[in-house]
Amino acid sequence: MWQAARLVATFDPDLVEITALSLRVSLGATVIASLIGLPLGAWLAVNRFPARRFVIAILNALMGLPPVVVGLMVYMLFSRSGPFGVLGLLFTPTAMVIAQVIIITPIIASVAHQAIRELWADYHDLLISLQATRLQRIKTLLWDGRRALMTASLAGFGRAIGEVGAIMIVGGNIDHATRVLTTAIALETGKGEFDMALALGFVLIGLAILVNLGLHFISRTERGARW
């Protein structure tokens, strides 16, 4: 336990490197998935089309997508014999980001859809009355629903930062290349290096809390009387 605390307190270089890559991959995946998922959720809330319920049902089902299966699929797509093998992305952080984007986009879109649907019910008559275009409606809903949407993105980030199955397969857990907190914890536990595993675990939990607090602080969500 003390050994773990010492590793964290002294900013152990390996620990810092692994942490930085974890943040880079998970934040990158969250940003990309948010760019796809948030407008998708808003679009599904605002538009009516024949297969809408079916699409929403699929989206909700994809929230439970098994990461290992996603990892396997991305592996097959980017392996040398796969359709995108020529890009040489397998066992790189980029492949890890791609896998995480696939895993968390349905989560972000689904939570965003639920939030925007409620806001749309409130705003519907006003936006129609003011003849807002479809794009203006979506922009308004995304802006006014930004607190709930931030929660959607944070849910995605939470899933991404703690994910191990997919990135282990597509990243390979290569030292100084694709090793992140979760894969490192799995490795250190396997080796019996519980101090290092515990230190990595502390950092992982701390990171998740810090990112959440940071985003809440930046967006000033606690300044209740003002928007």
Answer yes or no whether residue 222 interacts with another protein by CB under 8 A.
Answer: no
- The span of 17-25, 65-73, 142-150, 195-203 binding another protein (CB under 8 A) equals 142-150
- Closer residue to another protein in complex, CB, 80/226: 226
Burial 88-104 (b: 16+ CB within 10 A, else e): ebbbbbbbbbbbbbbbb
CB of 52 to another protein, least distance (A): 19
CA 62 from chain centre, in angstroms, equals 14
Span near another protein by CB under 8 A; candidates 34-42, 121-129, 151-159, 173-181: 121-129
Q: Which of residues 48, 51, 125, 192 is near another protein by CB under 8 A? A: 125
Tokens of 126: 């006003």
Q: Minimum distance from CB of 215 to another protein (Å)?
A: 18
Q: How many helices (H) and strands (E) does the chain have?
A: 10, 0
User: In this structure, which amino acid lies at residue 13?
Assistant: P
- Least separation in angstroms between CB 226 and another protein: 6
50, 64, 192, 224: residue in contact with another protein (rule CB under 8 A) = 224
Q: Which one among 50, 131, 176, 222 touches another protein, defined by CB under 8 A?
A: 131
Answer yes or no whether residue 118 interacts with another protein by CB under 8 A.
no
**Residue of 69, 136, 213, 214 interacting with another protein (CB under 8 A):** 136
Nearest to 138 by CA among 41, 60, 56, 36: 41
Query: Please, what is the minimum distance in Å from the beta carbon of residue 153 to another protein?
Result: 18
Residue type (1 letter), 172: G
CB of 57 to another protein, least distance (A): 24
CB 123 within 8 A of CB 141: yes
| CA 177 distance to own-chain centroid | 20
Q: Which stretch binds another protein (CB under 8 A): 37-45, 61-69, 107-115, 143-151?
A: 143-151
Output the CA–CA distances (angstroms, integers) from residue 3 to 20, 161, 186, in the order listed. Answer: 21, 24, 18
Length of the chain: 227
CA angle 72, 101, 66 (to 5 degrees): 45
Distance CA 96, CA 87 (A): 14
Within residues 25-64, the interface with another protein by CB under 8 A covers: none
Which residues in this chain contact another protein in the complex, by CB under 8 A?
119, 122-123, 125-126, 128-132, 136, 140, 144-145, 147, 224-227
